[in-house]
Amino acid sequence: MTLAEKLINEGMEKGMEKGMEKGEVIGKIQLFQNLMGLPAYSKENFKDMKLEYMNKILQQMEQQWQSFQAQRYAAS
């Protein structure tokens, strides 16, 4: 394997890992949006978003979910 091939393979592996990571975060965000009856972001919304920003959105969704759950249990 040439150096160029090795670098290409490494780049592809890193890209796949990053893509899988982003996909997982997107799925969690959309799940929270669904559970709370919020409009879900489309794929286009996430297209140019950095993973760090997506993680911030996910943290906000987790906090909103906790509040949502607390309000639901308080009402019952």
Domain ranges of the chain: 3-75
Answer whether 0.85 is exceeded by the pTM.
no
The CA angle 35-57-55, to the nearest 5 degrees, is: 115
pLDDT at site 65: 94
Give CA–CA dist 32/10, Å, rounded: 34
Residue in 64, 62, 61, 29 with CA at minimum distance from that of residue 43: 29
Q: What does pLDDT average to over the chain? A: 92
Reported as a pLDDT band with limits 50, 70 and 90, residue 71 is confident
* 59: amino acid identity, one letter: Q
Q: What is the pLDDT of residue 43?
A: 87
pLDDT per position as a tens digit, 31-60: 999 999 999 898 899 999 999 999 999 999
Q: What is the average per-residue pLDDT within 22-31?
A: 96
